[in-house]
Amino acid sequence: MKVSDHLYVYPWTNQRENNCNSVVIDGKTPLLVDPGHLHRVKELFTRMQADGFDPKKIKTVIATHSHPDHFEGTAAFSNPSVKIGLSRQEESFIEEVWRPAYLKQGIKMPDYRVDYYLQEGTLELGKHEFEVILAPGHSPGSLCLYWPRHRVLIAGDVVFAQGVGRFDLPGGNAEQLKESVERLSRLHVELLIPGHGPALQGAGKVQGNFDFIKKAYFGLG
């Protein structure tokens, strides 16, 4: 779904299978955030093409965290000209937690690569400038992307509409998640794109959602 001249949002609405929302930002260095499960990337490409966007244009793929429903699809981008970004903390989490878990079940760990590590601060891709915000709690190295010019927050699984990401999974931490939500709530956001579920548009709706979350989940406010 094309939202604006440069922004495309592809929400996952099939309730029969877990997969994430994906975001494409066009420009000199076209960006895909959270490609989802590997076997669903072909469907994602079909949706892009229906919007007039050629998936072959993608030059950078960023995963907000390493859970398979967000990160696994990076394996579809085998061309080394496409750069894969993840936080360093999240790659460590893959090796320390995910790989032993696969081995324990007798399953081969899926191949993956990380071309560069994302860290807190400014990220420039062509003429677009983003703020990378490390936001642990759902996963140790979860990150969010904030696009100040358009006041867009790509939140991964940190914040949803009237909800937050699970913190009872390996690497989850309720106190860290609370701190991450508090930090994000201070941003001026006009469009909140979560990793699952509907987006929220309008500063009032976004702030009201943060207020609800802080009260309902963390007893604040």
Q: Are 22 and 32 in contact (CB under 8 A)?
A: yes
- Which tens digit of pLDDT belongs to each residue from 82-109? 999 999 999 999 898 888 887 888 877 7
Write down the pLDDT at residue 220: 62
Could you give the CA distance from residue 61 to residue 161 in angstroms, rounded to a whole number? 24
Instruction: Answer whether residue 133 shows pLDDT above 90.
Output: yes
Question: pLDDT digits over 194-218, tens only?
Answer: 999 999 999 999 999 999 999 999 8
Mean pLDDT of 171-178: 95
What's the distance, CA 107 to chain centroid? 26
Residue 171 lies in a domain: yes
> Does residue 2 lie in a domain region?
no
> Residue 204 belongs to what domain range?
7-218
- At 101 the pLDDT is 80
pLDDT over 70 percentage in the chain: 99
Q: Does residue 221 surpass a pLDDT of 60?
A: no
Angle, helix 203-218 to helix 174-185, in steps of 10 degrees: 160
Say how far apart CA 156 and CA 96 lie, in whole Å.
Answer: 22
Q: Decide if 42 is inside a domain.
A: yes
Cβ distance 53 to 41 under 8 Å? no
Top-confidence residue, 21 or 107:
21
156-176 mean pLDDT: 95
Measuring CA to CA, which residue among 11, 45, 33 is closest to residue 118? 33
* CATH number of the CATH domain containing 183: 3.60.15.10
Which tokens hold the place of 116? 């560069």
Q: What is the distance of C-alpha 10 from the center of its chain?
A: 12
Q: How far is CA 134 from CA 2, 31, 49, 89, 120, in A?
A: 27, 19, 32, 10, 6
In a domain, residue 1? The reply is: no
Report the chain's mean pLDDT, rounded to a whole number.
94
Domain annotation covers residue 181:
yes
Q: pTM here?
A: 0.95
Domain count for the chain: 1
